[in-house]
Structures are given as structure tokens and as C-alpha cells.
Amino acid sequence: MSFIDKKDWEFIDFISFDKKIKNIKNFAFSRMQELTEALSTDTEKSKTYFDKVILKILDNLQLNFSNILIRFEDFCISPSYSLGITLQNISVVNTDRMFNQIFIDRSSNEELDVFKLLKISNFGLFFKIDDNLNISASDNNIEIEKKLNQLFPMDATHINDMEYLIKPSKYN
């Protein structure tokens, strides 16, 4: 243990009010700087974590829609007609290079390639002249559902008695 030389001594006046206020302000300022630095590094860490979570969600987002019928009909002109598309299933999934479905985690390797596979089953494009099935906005939901099920049942691959421009295949 060594003593400080008398020439290096610093006198601190703890008695005067001005000195006390100055010391309190210096102490508070130094603590605020430490707190600010600590919070900024925590925010950067949480931001990075949040970014990784969002990236993982977007990388592994998979979509699956089935039994889609989009139909446009015009009964105001003669002859009346309807046109539209039918689609039994459409899905987007993550795959590896060999088209095997996988879960993607780029947290360890950000340079990992992401592959998405789009599957479309029984896509059809139809056009029919003198179509007698009129689905109007004045129909209630139950009537609309009955007419659509009559036209395109849930387990059907195509609409019977429809003039297809692109006929749906019967294979998946």
C-alpha cells in the first residue's frame, strides 16, 4: 500500500452548497451516460433478435388455398355469358434443392438459399354462352352457397357441362 504524495492531494469542499450541487450533477450525468449506453446496446440486441424472428417467419411462410372459383357473369346483354377460373388447390411450400419440403433456419447461415415450390392442381379457364345460372347480389348467402355447390362441388376437379378454354387435368 502506498500513500499519495502531499503535492497530489486534491481538496474537495464538501461543505459549500455549490460544490455539493456540482458533485451531484456530475454523478447523475455519469450514471445517465452509463444507463443510456446500456439501453442502446440492449435495444440493438433486441432489434437484431426481432429481425431474426421476422426473417424466420417470412422464410417459412407457407400458403395453401383450395376449392377456388372466380366467376364473372353478364346477363344484361344477349346472349348472356359467364367466364372464370376454377382451381382445386394452390400451395407454396419451402423446399431444398431436391424439392423435399423443409423448415428453413438462416440464423446460423445467412447465405442459405431459399427455395419455394408452387403447386397448382386442376386449374381451369372457362367461358360459357347462354349460361342459365344467375348468381346475383340480391341472393342471400345460403342461396349463393347452394348455387355455387351445384355448379362446382367441393370435391370436384371440374364443372360438368362447362365449355373450358383450359380444361383441368384429373391428376395432381
Task: Give the pLDDT confidence of 55-89 residue by residue, as tens digits.
Answer: 888 888 899 998 888 888 887 888 888 888 888 88
Structural contact between residues 89 and 65, judged by C-beta atoms closer than 8 angstroms: yes
- pLDDT score of 2: 63
Its pTM stands at 0.54
Residue 32 pLDDT more than 80? yes
Return the pLDDT at 64.
93
Strand partners of residue 91: 64, 119
Q: Which residues of 43-72 are buried (b: 16+ CB within 10 A; e: fewer)?
A: eeeeeeeeeeeeeeeebeeeeeeeeebebe
Q: Identify the band that residue 17 occupies on the pLDDT scale cut at 50, 70 and 90.
A: confident
Rounded-to-integer distance, Cα 90 and Cα 79, Å: 33
Containing 94, the helix (H) or strand (E) segment is strand 81-95
- Judged against a pLDDT cut of 60, whether residue 172 lies above it is answered with no
Mind listing the pLDDT tens digit for each residue in 85-124? 888 889 999 888 888 888 887 777 767 788 889 998 888 8
Q: Measured between alpha carbons, how far is 11 from 9 in angstroms, rounded to an integer?
A: 7
Identify the residue whose cell numbers are 349463393: 144
At residue 43, the pLDDT reads: 56
Cα–Cα distance, 68 to 65 (Å, whole number): 7
Check residue 6 and report its DSSP letter.
Answer: G
Residue 96 and residue 143: Cα distance in Å, rounded? 45
% pLDDT > 70, the chain: 83
Measure the CA–CA gap between 22 and 27, rounded to whole angstroms.
9
Strand partners, 101: 95
The pLDDT of residue 14 is 63
Average pLDDT over the chain reads 79
Q: 10 Å Cβ neighbour count for 168?
A: 20
For residue 12, pLDDT over 70 is answered with no
